[in-house]
Each structure stands twice: as C-alpha cells, then as structure tokens.
C-alpha cells in the first residue's frame, strides 16, 4: 500500500463497478470523489446546531438548510463522479483507437 492511499477493497471508499475493475480505476475514482466525500463528512457537523436550534427556538429553518446542504453535496458528488468517469472513458477510448492492436 502506498502511504496515504486507500488500497482497492470492498469495504471503504467509493465502491462502484468502474472503480473495482482495476487498481488504476480505483485510485482515479478515489482521487475524483475524495473532496466531495470529505465535504459531506464536514457537513454532518451541521446536524448538531440544527437540532439545538430546533430544540430551543422551534425554528426549523436551520434544519431545512442542513438537509438542503446534504442533498446538494450528495448530488454534487455524483455529478463529479459521472462527469469524471465519462471523460476518463473518452480518453481511454481515444487512446485505444490510436494505438495499433496488432503489430503483425
């Protein structure tokens, strides 16, 4: 295992069929989805003040805002993932078309 990198596994990380196809795909997907996943983790800390505000003021506005942030970040994660995968497949496809397969 390279220091600071999560090795391919079935337990942790962004586990999709594309990521599990190869080690190269695994590291690409983890690098791609790492920041939005980290943001989602940080956004979990918004739940505490949201429930405190709800308990003491009966104001659900902060709770709704917290839910909206979570949904936004989750959608952003998948947009980044699918756009990155599409670009990678296009590059690999272009590379495969430009390389000679049979050198005789």
Supply the pTM of this predicted model: 0.71
The Cβ-side half-sphere exposure at 26, using a 13 Å CA radius, reads: 15
Instruction: Please compute the mean of the pLDDT values over residues 80-101 and round it to a whole number.
Output: 76
Amino acid 29: pLDDT: 92
Contact 60, 54 (CB under 8 A): yes
CB 66 within 8 A of CB 50: yes
Residues 32 and 82: their CA atoms lie apart, in Å, by 10
CA gap 55, 39 in Å, rounded: 26
State residue 3's pLDDT score: 58
Cα 48 from Cα 101, distance rounded (Å):
57
pLDDT surpasses 80 at 103: no
């Amino acid at each position: 295992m390279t220091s600071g990198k999560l090795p391919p596994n079935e337990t942790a990380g962004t586990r999709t069929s594309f990521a599990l196809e190869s080690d190269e795909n695994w590291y690409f997907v983890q690098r791609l989805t790492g920041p939005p996943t980290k943001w989602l983790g940080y956004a979990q800390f918004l739940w505490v003040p949201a429930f405190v505000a709800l308990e003491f003021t009966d104001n659900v506005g902060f709770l709704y805002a917290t839910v909206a942030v979570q949904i936004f970040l989750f959608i952003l994660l998948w947009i980044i993932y699918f756009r990155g995968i599409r670009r990678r497949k296009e590059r690999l496809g272009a590379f495969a078309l430009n390389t000679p397969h049979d050198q005789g």
